[in-house]
Amino acid sequence: MDKICAYTPFCADFGPFNLGMTHHFCGVLEELLRAPRTPAAKIVYHTFATPTHITNAMYLLGAFLIIHLKASPEQAGAPFRNFASVVLPYRDATW
């Protein structure tokens, strides 16, 4: 998904993704979840091991949990608590 959902910065920012890209990611993931597969198959989301990519991946997965699985923000953030030291805060897109 990093190649499909590549963030284009305005200035010195790295995200978050706009609503269109968020919607696209959620649609792709929902389609994968609904596709017939073997019972032992798992869906793995992989991203580059940089803080900016990890932060954006967590945003996309959290958005999916909230929008499509109706999780609360607290529930959506729970799986990512161990990554708190890697996450970068989003910043204004201007200098």
Residues 13-24 pLDDT 10s: 888 888 999 999
Domain range summary for the chain, segments of one domain joined by +: 49-89
Q: Is the pLDDT of residue 91 over 70?
A: yes
The sign of the dihedral angle between the CA atoms of 53, 20, 1, 33 is positive
**pLDDT tens, residue by residue, 37-84:** 877 888 899 999 899 999 999 999 999 999 999 999 999 999 999 988
Q: Give me the pLDDT at residue 1, please.
A: 67
What pLDDT is recorded for position 8? 75
Contact (CB, 8 A) for 57 and 47: yes
Residue identified by tokens 């790295």 is: 14
Question: Which pTM does this prediction carry?
Answer: 0.85
| pLDDT over 80 at 12, yes or no | no
pLDDT of residue 56: 92
